Amino acid sequence: MSGVVLRDVVKAYGDVVIIPKLDLEIYEGEFVVIVGPSGCGKSTTLRMIAGLEMVTSGEISIAGKDVTYAQPKARDIAMVFQSYALYPHMDVAGNMSFALRLARVPKAEIAERVQRAAEMLELTPYLDRKPKDLSGGQRQRVAMGRSIVRDAYCFLFDEPLSNLDAKLRATMRTELAILHKKLERTMVYVTHDQIEAMTMADRIVIMKDGVIQQIGSPREVYTAPENLFVAGFIGSPSMNLMDAELTRNNGALYVKGQGFELPVPGRLQERADTAKKSNIVLGLRPEHFSAADRGNGAFAPIELAVDVAEYIGSSQFIAASVGGKNLTAAVEVGPDAAPMESGTYYFDTERLYLFDRESGQAL
Amino acid sequence: MRRIDSPARVWGHYASLIILAIICLTPIWVMVSTSFKNEVVIFDAKPVWFFFFPTMENYDYILTRGKFDRYFVNSVIVATVSTFLTLFLGGLCAYALARLEFKGRRFVANSTLLVRMVPPAVLAVPAFAMVVTLNLNADLVVLIFFYTALNLPFAIWLLFGFYKQIPVELEEAAIVDGASPLQVFFQVLFPMMKSGYAVAGIFTFRIAWNEFILALLLTGRNSRTLPVGAAGFITDTGVEWGRIMAMGTLIVIPPLLFTFFAARQIISGLTAGSVKG
């Protein structure tokens, strides 16, 4: 089986178990982003794939070869570090060609490969500069160039954009996506930034406390979060989660809490019927609020007491409360609208989520 | 913003620097000038500071009739070999202390320098007793051994600080790039550690080159080093200042050259740009 496969991988430092048991299959040529809060074990997972950390037990295979106990250089991987880790005493060309020189690749070929990577990353004018004479974005590109020239089977990225400013990060995100298209290599990317995960990934792996919470395409994890953690983690601003219970009114099923009562959509009826009625968490994404009833029958009214409305152009972020519980809504009202005030808003009930409070699992 | 100093301040600044320079340079001038004086001028009741007729007779004597060449070779051997050993062993220890996890690491790292605080004079008698008990011949190897032991704590402490500054990611990047442990050390770490090794080398070389008490006790007729040789001009019949100073002047030159050479390796901020801080 090709790609990168982790089977029953456990990582512990002494008595402290970082990763209890992890199974993950990354297909060949796929761009997988591992995302999660700090300390969730995502970097450790990446470092185990790289061979910089040894697994406590379990198996890792890359391109069908068991590499569980192989040295990093035997794994056919290239890695970009969060801190770039450029060799300060070598110029850009020296940094990029270091691995090739170690592998005793013929000089002419090294020159050609460095040239090609430099062109791809627009680094050609800087090839004889030292890292200290480069800007943050250029250093980042050198770090990437260093792995590109390797032509490795699998590329590993450990939060490579987290040291860049917001604008540069957005640019580099696009460049990385383009790079993946060009190279068609397996890429594993670790980040704590869900926007990076959503924008670049073919599939996202969401981790918490060393356990995978959900694996799926960006669309899947956004539209069908499997549990409370994923629901709260993916999406920006994050999903509003409120304690609620299920009630029946005139035969129809409602989800009811302090200050709201919303009809349960058809897709959830069956599962809601069998769930414990009193122990429910309701999930409402801020972007599914609306200032007006869109009139397709799915929108239900909800009273919001607005604390403050933030102007962000064509939308407004509203910090409000319902029944004493804080909530965020993002309503599209056009760039000329006055700051939103308390009153009746509407929620697209087709897009509400229900979770079992005890298990945290989605209904 | 740069402050513009008043002329009085600038003059005061330069005046104090000039006074400091005079304090530092006077003994050196006395040494160098005395080495070019004959006995009559040296023992003149009125000291002659600048204007005298220079003579080479002191140099002529120590270079042709003394054992200067042997002492010089001894000193060079002792200083270079012990410096090399100190840097080699010290580098390994410092690396281990900075990077590897083992029991007592913190204690060793923090207490290393304490050992250096013992003055060599205190060690002289135990060192001598040790050499006699172990029946070691009074030769250069013994001296090299003691100088290495003496300088190791300082070298370890200094290099430890330098190693700690190097981000571990650089080593990991090299490992992923396919470097063996030796390649990681020589192609990635060592070039960045040049400053550290240069500083440690300057200190170690100077101490080994100038050390007197242990050298006096632990060397024999044929294994004397230059400082002990110079002391040989203090005789029962008097102190031969001209020759001592000529020898002193020659002794100063090699460490000076070594320092100039080594200091060129000292570049601050060598890891600049390697990782985002």
Q: What is the pLDDT of residues A142-175, one digit of tens each?
A: 998 898 888 889 999 998 888 778 888 888 888 8
Per cent of chain A over pLDDT 90 is 50
Is the ipTM of this structure higher than 0.85?
no
Distance in angstroms (rounded) separating the CA atoms of residues B23 and B29: 11
User: Does residue A206 lie in a domain region?
Assistant: yes
User: Does residue A232 lie in a domain region?
Assistant: no
pLDDT reading at B42 higher than 90: no
Q: Distance (Å) from the C-alpha of residue B169 to the closest C-alpha of chain A?
A: 6
Distance in angstroms (rounded) separating the CA atoms of residues A199 and A173: 8
How confident is the prediction for chain A on average, in pLDDT? Answer: 89
Residues 186 through 205 of chain B touching chain A, CB cutoff 8 Å: 187-188, 191-192
Distance in angstroms (rounded) separating the CA atoms of residues A39 and A18: 9
Distances (CA, A) of B79 to A163, B104, B122: 47, 32, 21
- The partner residue sitting opposite B275, judged by closest CB among A72, A85, A133, is A85
The overall pTM is greater than 0.90: no
Q: Does A79 touch chain B (CB under 8 A)?
A: yes
pLDDT reading at B15 higher than 90: yes
Q: Are residues A8 and A105 in the same domain?
A: yes
Q: What is the pLDDT of residue A8?
A: 94
Q: What is the pLDDT of residue A101?
A: 93
Q: Are residues A160 and A253 in the same domain?
A: no
Q: Does B267 touch chain A (CB under 8 A)?
A: no
Q: Are residues A222 and A79 in the same domain?
A: yes
Quote the DSSP letter at residue A224.
S
Is the CB of residue A129 less than 8 Å from the CB of residue A92? yes
CATH code of the domain in which A187 resides: 3.40.50.300
- Domains in chain B, start-ordered, CATH in brackets? 7-58 (no CATH), 67-263 (1.10.3720.10)
Q: What is the pLDDT of residue A190?
A: 94
User: Does residue A128 lie in a domain region?
Assistant: yes
The residue that leads in pLDDT, A137 or A69, is A69
Q: What is the pLDDT of residue A168?
A: 80
Q: Are residues A307 and A341 in the same domain?
A: yes
Tell me which range, A249-253, B105-109, B202-206, B265-269, is most confidently predicted by mean pLDDT.
B202-206
Q: Are residues A148 and A256 in the same domain?
A: no
Contact: B175, A99; criterion CB under 8 Å? no
- Across the A/B interface, how many CB contacts are shorter than 8 Å? 84
- The partner residue sitting opposite A88, judged by closest CB among B169, B172, B192, is B192
The residue that leads in pLDDT, A19 or B48, is A19
- A295-302 mean pLDDT: 83
- The partner residue sitting opposite B178, judged by closest CB among A73, A81, A136, is A73
Q: Does A89 touch chain B (CB under 8 A)?
A: yes
User: Does residue A171 lie in a domain region?
Assistant: yes
Strand partners, A256: A245, A261
pLDDT reading at A355 higher than 80: yes
Which residues from chain B sit within 8 angstroms of residue A99, using beta carbons? 177-178
Within 10 angstroms of residue A57's Cβ, the number of other Cβ atoms is 11
pLDDT reading at B277 higher than 60: no
Q: What is the pLDDT of residue A107?
A: 93
Distance in angstroms (rounded) separating the CA atoms of residues B208 and B196: 18
Q: Does A86 touch chain B (CB under 8 A)?
A: yes
Residues 156 through 195 of chain A touching chain B, CB cutoff 8 Å: 163
Structure tokens at B206: 């100077």
Q: Which amino acid is at A363?
A: L
Q: What is the pLDDT of residue B2?
A: 60
Q: Are residues A65 and A195 in the same domain?
A: yes
pLDDT reading at A14 higher than 60: yes
DSSP strand pairing (A252-257 vs A260-263): antiparallel
Contact: A78, B175; criterion CB under 8 Å? no
Per cent of chain A over pLDDT 70 is 99
Q: Does B172 touch chain A (CB under 8 A)?
A: yes
Q: Are residues A300 and A173 in the same domain?
A: no
Could you report the per-residue pLDDT of A327-345, keeping only the tens digit for each? 999 988 888 888 888 889 9
Q: Are residues A163 and A56 in the same domain?
A: yes
Q: Distance (Å) from the C-alpha of residue B34 to the closest C-alpha of chain A?
A: 47
- A306-330 mean pLDDT: 90
Q: Closest Cα to residue A263, out of A277, A288, A246?
A: A246
Q: Does A141 touch chain B (CB under 8 A)?
A: no
Number of domains in chain A: 2
Q: Are residues A201 and A320 in the same domain?
A: no
User: Does residue A362 lie in a domain region?
Assistant: no
Contact: A86, B274; criterion CB under 8 Å? yes
- The partner residue sitting opposite A102, judged by closest CB among B169, B178, B273, is B178
pLDDT reading at B268 higher than 60: no
pLDDT confidence bin for A23, thresholds 50/70/90: very high
Q: Closest Cα to residue A89, out of B271, B159, B263, B176?
A: B271
Which residues from chain B sit within 8 angstroms of residue A136, using beta carbons? 276
- Helix (H) or strand (E) holding A167, with range, is helix A166-183
Contact: A99, B177; criterion CB under 8 Å? yes
Which residues from chain B sit within 8 angstroms of residue A134, using beta carbons? 273
Q: Are residues A25 and A167 in the same domain?
A: yes
User: Does residue A12 lie in a domain region?
Assistant: yes
Q: Distance (Å) from the C-alpha of residue A72 to the closest C-alpha of chain B?
A: 5
How confident is the prediction for chain B on average, in pLDDT? Answer: 85
User: Does residue A285 lie in a domain region?
Assistant: yes
CATH code of the domain in which A312 resides: 2.40.50.140
Strand partners, A315: A332
User: Does residue A363 lie in a domain region?
Assistant: no
Domain span including residue A345: 240-356
pLDDT reading at B272 higher than 70: no
Q: What is the pLDDT of residue B270?
A: 56
Quote the DSSP letter at residue B4.
P
Q: Distance (Å) from the C-alpha of residue A204 to the closest C-alpha of chain B?
A: 25
Q: Are residues A128 and A267 in the same domain?
A: no
